[in-house]
A and B are shown apart, each in its own frame.
Chain A
Amino acid sequence: MSPAPNPELRRQVIAIYKQLLFLGRDYPQGYAWFRERLHRAFAAKAHLTDEAEIRKALAHADFVRKEIEALYYLKRYRTLRQRYDGA
Protein backbone atom coordinates (compact mmCIF):
# COMPACT_ATOMS: atom_id res chain seq x y z
CA MET A 1 0.00 0.00 0.00
CA SER A 2 2.72 2.46 -0.97
CA PRO A 3 0.93 5.05 -3.16
CA ALA A 4 -0.43 7.25 -0.34
CA PRO A 5 -3.25 5.06 0.96
CA ASN A 6 -5.98 6.19 3.28
CA PRO A 7 -4.21 6.21 6.68
CA GLU A 8 -7.36 5.20 8.54
CA LEU A 9 -7.80 2.10 6.38
CA ARG A 10 -4.12 1.30 6.74
CA ARG A 11 -4.51 1.42 10.52
CA GLN A 12 -7.53 -0.87 10.35
CA VAL A 13 -5.71 -3.39 8.18
CA ILE A 14 -2.78 -3.52 10.60
CA ALA A 15 -5.15 -3.82 13.57
CA ILE A 16 -7.06 -6.78 12.14
CA TYR A 17 -3.78 -8.43 11.11
CA LYS A 18 -2.53 -8.16 14.69
CA GLN A 19 -5.79 -9.48 16.05
CA LEU A 20 -5.70 -12.46 13.73
CA LEU A 21 -2.08 -13.16 14.64
CA PHE A 22 -3.07 -13.11 18.30
CA LEU A 23 -5.90 -15.55 17.61
CA GLY A 24 -3.49 -17.78 15.71
CA ARG A 25 -1.54 -18.58 18.86
CA ASP A 26 -4.19 -21.12 19.79
CA TYR A 27 -4.69 -22.49 16.29
CA PRO A 28 -4.95 -26.32 16.23
CA GLN A 29 -2.34 -26.74 13.48
CA GLY A 30 0.08 -24.51 15.34
CA TYR A 31 1.10 -20.88 15.23
CA ALA A 32 3.77 -21.28 12.52
CA TRP A 33 1.27 -22.91 10.15
CA PHE A 34 -1.27 -20.21 10.80
CA ARG A 35 1.08 -17.24 10.58
CA GLU A 36 2.47 -18.24 7.22
CA ARG A 37 -1.00 -18.64 5.71
CA LEU A 38 -2.25 -15.44 7.26
CA HIS A 39 0.71 -13.56 5.87
CA ARG A 40 0.11 -15.03 2.43
CA ALA A 41 -3.56 -14.05 2.51
CA PHE A 42 -2.72 -10.47 3.39
CA ALA A 43 0.16 -10.26 0.92
CA ALA A 44 -2.17 -11.47 -1.84
CA LYS A 45 -4.30 -8.36 -1.31
CA ALA A 46 -1.46 -5.91 -0.73
CA HIS A 47 -1.88 -4.47 -4.24
CA LEU A 48 -5.42 -3.21 -3.54
CA THR A 49 -5.72 0.55 -3.84
CA ASP A 50 -9.45 1.07 -4.36
CA GLU A 51 -11.02 2.01 -1.01
CA ALA A 52 -14.17 0.01 -1.57
CA GLU A 53 -12.08 -3.06 -2.36
CA ILE A 54 -10.02 -2.58 0.79
CA ARG A 55 -13.15 -2.25 2.87
CA LYS A 56 -14.46 -5.47 1.36
CA ALA A 57 -11.22 -7.22 2.25
CA LEU A 58 -11.43 -5.83 5.79
CA ALA A 59 -14.97 -7.15 6.15
CA HIS A 60 -13.72 -10.54 5.01
CA ALA A 61 -10.91 -10.44 7.57
CA ASP A 62 -13.45 -9.70 10.28
CA PHE A 63 -15.56 -12.60 9.05
CA VAL A 64 -12.54 -14.89 9.32
CA ARG A 65 -11.89 -13.62 12.86
CA LYS A 66 -15.45 -14.53 13.87
CA GLU A 67 -15.11 -17.93 12.23
CA ILE A 68 -11.92 -18.69 14.14
CA GLU A 69 -13.50 -17.61 17.42
CA ALA A 70 -16.48 -19.84 16.70
CA LEU A 71 -14.13 -22.69 15.84
CA TYR A 72 -12.33 -22.38 19.19
CA TYR A 73 -15.59 -22.19 21.10
CA LEU A 74 -17.04 -25.26 19.39
CA LYS A 75 -13.86 -27.26 19.79
CA ARG A 76 -13.80 -26.59 23.50
CA TYR A 77 -17.52 -27.10 23.95
CA ARG A 78 -17.44 -30.47 22.20
CA THR A 79 -14.44 -31.66 24.16
CA LEU A 80 -16.00 -30.68 27.47
CA ARG A 81 -19.34 -32.18 26.57
CA GLN A 82 -17.65 -35.43 25.72
CA ARG A 83 -15.78 -35.40 29.02
CA TYR A 84 -18.49 -34.21 31.39
CA ASP A 85 -21.93 -34.81 29.90
CA GLY A 86 -21.40 -38.46 29.07
CA ALA A 87 -23.00 -37.82 25.67
Chain B
Amino acid sequence: MSALRILVPVKRVIDYAVKPRVNKAQTGVETAGVKHSMNPFDELSVEESVRIREKKSAPGGVEDICVLSAGPAKAQDVLRTAMAMGADRAIHVDVKEGEDLEPLTVAKLLKAAAERERSNLVILGKQSIDDDAGQTGQMLAGLLGWPQATQASKVEFGEGDTVTVTREVDGGVETLRAKLPMVITTDLRLNEPRYASLPNIMKAKKKPLEKKTLADFGITNDKRLKVLKVTEPPARQGGGKVEDVDGLISKLKELGAI
Protein backbone atom coordinates (compact mmCIF):
# COMPACT_ATOMS: atom_id res chain seq x y z
CA MET B 1 0.00 0.00 0.00
CA SER B 2 1.52 3.25 -1.07
CA ALA B 3 1.52 6.25 1.22
CA LEU B 4 -0.88 8.98 0.19
CA ARG B 5 0.40 12.19 -1.30
CA ILE B 6 -2.68 14.36 -1.40
CA LEU B 7 -3.01 17.45 -3.55
CA VAL B 8 -5.79 19.84 -2.52
CA PRO B 9 -6.49 22.73 -4.87
CA VAL B 10 -8.28 25.67 -3.21
CA LYS B 11 -9.79 28.86 -4.56
CA ARG B 12 -10.21 32.26 -3.02
CA VAL B 13 -13.75 33.44 -3.70
CA ILE B 14 -16.10 36.15 -2.51
CA ASP B 15 -17.38 35.12 0.91
CA TYR B 16 -20.61 33.14 0.81
CA ALA B 17 -22.37 35.62 3.09
CA VAL B 18 -21.67 38.61 0.83
CA LYS B 19 -24.29 39.60 -1.72
CA PRO B 20 -22.37 40.06 -4.98
CA ARG B 21 -22.94 43.22 -7.00
CA VAL B 22 -22.53 43.51 -10.73
CA ASN B 23 -19.92 46.10 -11.72
CA LYS B 24 -20.78 49.17 -13.77
CA ALA B 25 -19.30 47.84 -17.01
CA GLN B 26 -21.43 44.67 -16.71
CA THR B 27 -18.39 42.47 -17.24
CA GLY B 28 -18.48 40.69 -13.89
CA VAL B 29 -19.13 41.18 -10.20
CA GLU B 30 -17.47 43.80 -8.03
CA THR B 31 -14.53 42.26 -6.18
CA ALA B 32 -12.65 45.31 -4.87
CA GLY B 33 -13.15 45.87 -1.15
CA VAL B 34 -15.34 42.77 -0.80
CA LYS B 35 -14.70 40.14 1.85
CA HIS B 36 -13.11 37.02 0.42
CA SER B 37 -12.59 33.59 1.93
CA MET B 38 -11.84 30.04 0.94
CA ASN B 39 -14.39 28.36 -1.31
CA PRO B 40 -16.57 26.33 1.14
CA PHE B 41 -16.34 23.19 -0.97
CA ASP B 42 -12.55 23.44 -0.88
CA GLU B 43 -12.68 23.70 2.90
CA LEU B 44 -14.43 20.34 2.83
CA SER B 45 -11.60 18.84 0.78
CA VAL B 46 -8.91 20.27 3.07
CA GLU B 47 -10.80 18.92 6.08
CA GLU B 48 -11.21 15.51 4.48
CA SER B 49 -7.52 15.13 3.72
CA VAL B 50 -6.62 16.16 7.27
CA ARG B 51 -9.15 13.68 8.64
CA ILE B 52 -7.72 10.86 6.54
CA ARG B 53 -4.45 11.53 8.30
CA GLU B 54 -5.88 11.97 11.80
CA LYS B 55 -8.17 8.97 11.68
CA LYS B 56 -5.46 6.90 9.99
CA SER B 57 -8.12 5.60 7.63
CA ALA B 58 -5.63 5.02 4.81
CA PRO B 59 -3.60 1.83 5.42
CA GLY B 60 -0.48 3.36 3.88
CA GLY B 61 -0.75 6.54 5.92
CA VAL B 62 -0.61 10.10 4.63
CA GLU B 63 2.83 11.26 3.60
CA ASP B 64 2.01 14.76 2.44
CA ILE B 65 -0.90 17.18 2.16
CA CYS B 66 -0.14 19.95 -0.29
CA VAL B 67 -2.58 22.79 -0.98
CA LEU B 68 -2.39 24.77 -4.19
CA SER B 69 -4.06 27.98 -5.23
CA ALA B 70 -3.82 30.04 -8.39
CA GLY B 71 -4.73 33.67 -8.02
CA PRO B 72 -3.52 37.11 -6.96
CA ALA B 73 -1.17 37.59 -3.99
CA LYS B 74 -4.12 37.55 -1.59
CA ALA B 75 -4.74 33.91 -2.47
CA GLN B 76 -1.95 33.24 0.02
CA ASP B 77 -4.42 34.05 2.79
CA VAL B 78 -6.56 31.04 1.95
CA LEU B 79 -3.43 28.89 1.66
CA ARG B 80 -2.49 29.97 5.19
CA THR B 81 -5.99 29.09 6.36
CA ALA B 82 -5.68 25.67 4.75
CA MET B 83 -2.34 25.12 6.45
CA ALA B 84 -3.86 26.24 9.74
CA MET B 85 -6.47 23.53 9.26
CA GLY B 86 -3.70 20.96 8.92
CA ALA B 87 -2.17 20.94 5.44
CA ASP B 88 1.61 20.54 5.39
CA ARG B 89 2.68 22.97 2.70
CA ALA B 90 1.35 25.21 0.00
CA ILE B 91 2.03 26.26 -3.56
CA HIS B 92 0.87 29.65 -4.73
CA VAL B 93 0.64 30.10 -8.49
CA ASP B 94 0.64 33.79 -9.17
CA VAL B 95 -2.08 34.98 -11.52
CA LYS B 96 -2.75 38.69 -11.81
CA GLU B 97 -5.94 40.21 -10.49
CA GLY B 98 -8.62 40.05 -13.16
CA GLU B 99 -6.90 37.38 -15.26
CA ASP B 100 -9.08 34.55 -14.06
CA LEU B 101 -8.32 31.06 -15.26
CA GLU B 102 -10.88 28.93 -17.03
CA PRO B 103 -11.63 25.44 -15.69
CA LEU B 104 -9.67 23.78 -18.50
CA THR B 105 -6.57 25.89 -17.78
CA VAL B 106 -6.90 25.10 -14.08
CA ALA B 107 -7.17 21.39 -14.90
CA LYS B 108 -4.03 21.56 -17.05
CA LEU B 109 -2.21 23.40 -14.28
CA LEU B 110 -3.31 20.82 -11.71
CA LYS B 111 -2.23 17.99 -13.97
CA ALA B 112 1.27 19.48 -14.17
CA ALA B 113 1.27 20.08 -10.41
CA ALA B 114 0.07 16.56 -9.58
CA GLU B 115 2.83 15.10 -11.74
CA ARG B 116 5.49 17.38 -10.26
CA GLU B 117 4.42 16.65 -6.68
CA ARG B 118 3.98 12.92 -7.41
CA SER B 119 0.47 13.12 -5.93
CA ASN B 120 -1.67 10.00 -5.96
CA LEU B 121 -4.89 11.53 -4.68
CA VAL B 122 -6.41 14.86 -5.65
CA ILE B 123 -9.33 16.09 -3.54
CA LEU B 124 -11.16 19.08 -5.01
CA GLY B 125 -14.30 20.96 -4.16
CA LYS B 126 -17.07 19.97 -6.55
CA GLN B 127 -17.45 23.56 -7.69
CA SER B 128 -16.51 27.08 -6.69
CA ILE B 129 -19.25 29.32 -5.41
CA ASP B 130 -18.26 32.19 -7.72
CA ASP B 131 -18.15 30.67 -11.21
CA ASP B 132 -20.13 27.54 -10.36
CA ALA B 133 -18.58 25.78 -13.33
CA GLY B 134 -18.17 22.40 -11.61
CA GLN B 135 -15.84 21.14 -14.34
CA THR B 136 -12.29 21.22 -13.02
CA GLY B 137 -12.26 17.89 -11.19
CA GLN B 138 -13.77 16.00 -14.10
CA MET B 139 -11.44 17.54 -16.66
CA LEU B 140 -8.42 16.90 -14.44
CA ALA B 141 -9.35 13.22 -14.14
CA GLY B 142 -9.70 13.09 -17.90
CA LEU B 143 -6.34 14.73 -18.53
CA LEU B 144 -4.55 12.51 -16.02
CA GLY B 145 -6.39 9.36 -17.09
CA TRP B 146 -7.24 8.64 -13.44
CA PRO B 147 -10.54 7.32 -12.07
CA GLN B 148 -12.83 9.98 -10.66
CA ALA B 149 -15.45 9.98 -7.91
CA THR B 150 -17.41 13.20 -7.96
CA GLN B 151 -19.50 14.74 -5.18
CA ALA B 152 -18.36 12.35 -2.49
CA SER B 153 -20.30 12.16 0.75
CA LYS B 154 -18.05 9.47 2.26
CA VAL B 155 -14.53 8.27 1.49
CA GLU B 156 -13.15 4.96 2.77
CA PHE B 157 -9.91 3.14 2.11
CA GLY B 158 -9.48 -0.59 1.57
CA GLU B 159 -6.72 -3.08 0.93
CA GLY B 160 -4.51 -2.84 -2.13
CA ASP B 161 -4.91 0.87 -2.85
CA THR B 162 -8.66 0.69 -3.29
CA VAL B 163 -10.84 3.62 -2.32
CA THR B 164 -14.59 3.37 -1.79
CA VAL B 165 -16.55 6.54 -2.31
CA THR B 166 -20.21 7.01 -1.48
CA ARG B 167 -22.11 9.73 -3.26
CA GLU B 168 -25.61 11.03 -2.81
CA VAL B 169 -27.77 10.71 -5.87
CA ASP B 170 -31.49 11.27 -6.41
CA GLY B 171 -33.39 8.88 -4.17
CA GLY B 172 -30.44 7.08 -2.59
CA VAL B 173 -26.70 6.64 -2.53
CA GLU B 174 -24.25 5.31 -5.07
CA THR B 175 -21.04 3.51 -4.11
CA LEU B 176 -17.97 3.61 -6.31
CA ARG B 177 -14.74 1.70 -5.87
CA ALA B 178 -11.52 2.58 -7.65
CA LYS B 179 -7.78 2.18 -7.28
CA LEU B 180 -5.31 4.92 -6.56
CA PRO B 181 -4.30 7.23 -8.08
CA MET B 182 -7.66 8.96 -8.30
CA VAL B 183 -9.55 12.25 -8.26
CA ILE B 184 -12.28 12.95 -5.72
CA THR B 185 -14.57 15.96 -5.61
CA THR B 186 -16.39 16.82 -2.39
CA ASP B 187 -20.03 17.37 -1.67
CA LEU B 188 -21.57 19.37 1.16
CA ARG B 189 -22.19 16.50 3.59
CA LEU B 190 -18.72 14.94 3.46
CA ASN B 191 -17.61 16.40 6.81
CA GLU B 192 -17.77 19.47 9.04
CA PRO B 193 -14.75 21.68 8.37
CA ARG B 194 -12.97 22.92 11.48
CA TYR B 195 -12.47 26.58 12.20
CA ALA B 196 -8.90 27.74 11.63
CA SER B 197 -8.06 29.05 15.10
CA LEU B 198 -5.80 32.00 15.77
CA PRO B 199 -2.90 29.98 17.28
CA ASN B 200 -3.00 27.59 14.34
CA ILE B 201 -2.95 30.45 11.84
CA MET B 202 0.16 31.76 13.62
CA LYS B 203 1.79 28.34 13.45
CA ALA B 204 0.86 28.03 9.79
CA LYS B 205 3.01 31.05 9.01
CA LYS B 206 6.04 28.85 9.59
CA LYS B 207 4.92 26.21 7.11
CA PRO B 208 6.54 26.34 3.66
CA LEU B 209 4.83 28.25 0.89
CA GLU B 210 6.27 27.97 -2.62
CA LYS B 211 5.70 30.75 -5.11
CA LYS B 212 5.31 29.76 -8.73
CA THR B 213 4.05 31.19 -11.97
CA LEU B 214 2.00 29.59 -14.73
CA ALA B 215 5.14 29.44 -16.89
CA ASP B 216 6.84 27.22 -14.27
CA PHE B 217 4.23 24.61 -15.07
CA GLY B 218 4.40 25.26 -18.82
CA ILE B 219 0.88 26.70 -18.94
CA THR B 220 -0.39 29.76 -20.76
CA ASN B 221 -3.66 31.41 -19.83
CA ASP B 222 -5.57 31.02 -23.08
CA LYS B 223 -9.14 32.16 -23.13
CA ARG B 224 -11.67 29.96 -24.85
CA LEU B 225 -14.71 31.57 -23.34
CA LYS B 226 -15.82 35.17 -23.49
CA VAL B 227 -18.14 36.80 -20.99
CA LEU B 228 -20.55 38.90 -23.01
CA LYS B 229 -22.56 40.49 -20.25
CA VAL B 230 -23.31 40.05 -16.57
CA THR B 231 -26.58 41.40 -15.20
CA GLU B 232 -28.49 41.24 -11.94
CA PRO B 233 -31.49 38.90 -11.85
CA PRO B 234 -34.77 40.77 -12.38
CA ALA B 235 -36.26 42.16 -9.18
CA ARG B 236 -39.11 40.16 -7.74
CA GLN B 237 -42.54 41.54 -8.55
CA GLY B 238 -44.50 42.33 -5.43
CA GLY B 239 -47.74 40.46 -4.75
CA GLY B 240 -51.18 42.05 -4.32
CA LYS B 241 -53.92 41.50 -1.77
CA VAL B 242 -57.56 40.79 -2.61
CA GLU B 243 -60.50 41.60 -0.35
CA ASP B 244 -62.58 38.44 -0.65
CA VAL B 245 -63.27 35.34 -2.77
CA ASP B 246 -65.06 37.32 -5.50
CA GLY B 247 -62.11 39.66 -5.65
CA LEU B 248 -59.78 36.68 -6.06
CA ILE B 249 -61.85 35.17 -8.86
CA SER B 250 -62.09 38.42 -10.77
CA LYS B 251 -58.36 38.96 -10.33
CA LEU B 252 -57.61 35.46 -11.65
CA LYS B 253 -59.93 36.04 -14.62
CA GLU B 254 -58.22 39.32 -15.28
CA LEU B 255 -54.86 37.55 -15.38
CA GLY B 256 -56.28 34.83 -17.63
CA ALA B 257 -55.62 32.05 -15.11
CA ILE B 258 -59.21 30.74 -15.21
List residues of A whose CB falls within 8 A of some B CB: 15, 18-19, 22-23, 69, 72-73, 75-77, 79-81, 83-85
Contact = CB atoms under 8 A, between A and B. Distances in A.
A19 B198 contact: yes
Contacts of B199: 15, 19
A80 B188 contact: yes
Contacts, number: 30
Interface class of chain A by DSSP: helix
Interface stretch (B22-30, B189-197, B229-237): B189-197
Interface of B: 16-17, 40, 129, 188, 192-195, 197-199
A4 to B, nearest CB: 27
B16 A76 contact: yes
Contacts of A69: 194-195
B17 A79 contact: yes
Contacts of A84: 188
B192 A73 contact: yes
Given A76-B40, A79-B16, A22 B188 contact: no
A85 B198 CA distance: 32
Nearest to A75: B17
Given A19-B197, A23-B195, A72-B195, A81 B16 contact: no
12 contacts: A19-B197, A19-B199, A22-B198, A75-B17, A77-B192, A79-B16, A79-B17, A80-B40, A81-B188, A83-B129, A84-B188, A85-B188
